[in-house]
Each structure stands twice: as structure tokens, then as C-alpha cells.
Amino acid sequence: MKLLKKGAEADVYLSSWNGKKAILKIRKEKTYRNSVLDKRIRKQRTIKESEIISQVKSFGISTPLIYFLDVSKCSILMQYIDGKLVRDMNEKAIQKSCFEIGKIVGVLHKNGIMHGDLTTSNFILTKKQLVLIDFGLASRTEKPDDHAIDLRLFKEILNSAHANILKKSWNNFLKGYSKSIGEKYCNKIIKLVAVIESRGRYATVV
Ligand SMILES: Nc1ncnc2c1ncn2[C@@H]1O[C@H](COP(=O)(O)OP(=O)(O)O)[C@@H](O)[C@H]1O
Ligand SMILES: [Mg+2]
């Protein structure tokens, strides 16, 4: 098995399932935590991640299929999505896809799900569509403040990784978000993003 990414929470491997390419995501032991507690936390997060990946499909969002969930090993075997990470696309294409990303995030929030790690490395563009991955930090929440945290993170990623196209990409994102969730809620969340930014720890972007 080839290691694709060593993360803080999990390691991601290229694997196979019934002759098809697959992704194996394994949550690693955290030795600084009590081992019984650590196992419980990793199990819970693994279950939650796989549940939310599947749940959001019913909202019309494309996510990898779950092939196998091994709770005792804290691992998820899922469909390999063949495409390109949005992060690695050219600037014009990233800017354009931000509208679609905004639409997807609006649908998530409308249905009470926060992604928790909205970066351009967590969207894969296939020949057909944008696929959202990495629900490791996702949670069920209707709180506008939580939704604003999702938006603020995405804006920060645009600022740090795609600074040249920040303005247009952010505007496209908001257009898509507003289209899914409605102008009124969108404006409310934009205000909350400004509040987060005004807390000082975060610099204002744009
Ligand atoms: N289902 C998948 N299909 C294709 N590539 C994937 C898939 N899941 C993860 N990857 C690749 O592995 C990387 C890390 O996986 P991810 O679930 O985002 O974990 P992390 O929490 O470490 O960010 C992704 O950015 C992507 O490049
Ligand atoms: Mg990720």
C-alpha cells in the first residue's frame, strides 16, 4: 500500500477494493492521550466521518462511496476519486470552481452540516463534477457561528494559497453560497465572518 499523505489525525493510503483503486484512511494513535480514551475518540470520529460522508449524498453532494468501515482499526476504505485537487488547478479554473464550491457549502449548511476543513485540497474535480472529501472534522450544527467559521477558513485558504485570485474567487464563492442558501442567510453569515475577523487574532482579508 502506498502512503499518500501523513496527516495530523490520519494517514491516507492508496489501496484497492474488488480490483478497483481505493483510499484507506486510518486514524493514528495519539500517544499523549490516555490509550483507552484515545481509542474511544478515534472510533467515534471514524464512525462520524463515514456517517456524514454518506449522509450528505442525500442532499445531492458528491462524496466518495464508503466500501468498508473498520471501527476497531479506526479505518475507512472508500472510493478513489479520479481527478485533480482544486488546489492544483490553474488560477482561472480555481477562480471559476469557487462558485460551485460555494454552492456545495451552501447546501451543506442548509442541511445543518459544517465541514470543518474547507480547503482547496478537499475538493477534487473529476470529468463530471466537484467531489467533496475529508469529513474528518465535520459536524452536525445549525449554528450560524459555526457556518461562519467554515466560510472564514475557506477565505483564509484563498488568501494564503491563492492570493492572486482572492477577490474574484471569494466573490464567486459567495455568489454560489447565496444561490444555495438564500441572500438573507448569506448576508448574515458574511456579517459573522466580519465579526470573527474583527476579533483581532485573525487579520481581515480583502
Ligand atoms: N477518496 C479520495 N480519492 C482520491 N484522493 C483522495 C481521497 N481521499 C483523500 N485523498 C487524497 O489524500 C489527501 C488527504 O486526505 P484527507 O481525507 O483530505 O485527509 P487529511 O485529513 O489528512 O487532510 C487529499 O487531499 C487527497 O489528495
Ligand atoms: Mg484534507
130-148 per-position pLDDT tens digit: 999 999 999 999 999 999 9
Is-contact 78 65, C-beta < 8 A? yes
Query: Which pLDDT does position 206 carry in this prediction?
Result: 61
Rounded-to-integer distance, Cα 47 and Cα 59, Å: 20
Question: Does residue 122 have its Cβ closer than 6 Å to ligand 1?
Answer: yes
Retrieve residue 84's grid coordinates: 485533480
Query: Which pLDDT does position 173 carry in this prediction?
Result: 98
Question: Which CATH topology does 84-198 take?
Answer: Transferase(Phosphotransferase); domain 1 (1.10.510)
What is the amino acid identity at position 115?
H
Query: Which pLDDT does position 78 carry in this prediction?
Result: 98
pTM for this prediction: 0.94
Query: Which pLDDT does position 31 carry in this prediction?
Result: 86
| Centroid of ligand 1 to alpha carbon of 92 (angstroms) | 23
CATH architecture of 2-79: 2-Layer Sandwich (3.30)
Question: Does residue 10 have its Cβ closer than 6 Å to ligand 1?
Answer: yes
Low-confidence ranges of the chain (pLDDT < 70): 200-206
Structural domain boundaries of the chain? 2-79, 84-198
Query: Which pLDDT does position 61 carry in this prediction?
Result: 98
Question: Does residue 80 have its Cβ closer than 6 Å to ligand 1?
Answer: yes
Among 175, 119, 172, 121, residue whose Cα is nearest residue 150:
119
User: Quick count: other Cβ atoms within 10 Å of Cβ 196?
Assistant: 17
Q: Which one is catalytic: 11, 82, 117, 146? A: 117
Query: Which pLDDT does position 202 carry in this prediction?
Result: 57
Is-contact 89 162, C-beta < 8 A? no
| Centroid of ligand 1 to alpha carbon of 168 (angstroms) | 26
Is-contact 186 151, C-beta < 8 A? no
Rounded-to-integer distance, Cα 87 and Cα 140, Å: 26
| φ, ψ dihedrals at 72, nearest 5° | -70, -30
Please indicate whether residue 70 is annotated as part of the active site. no
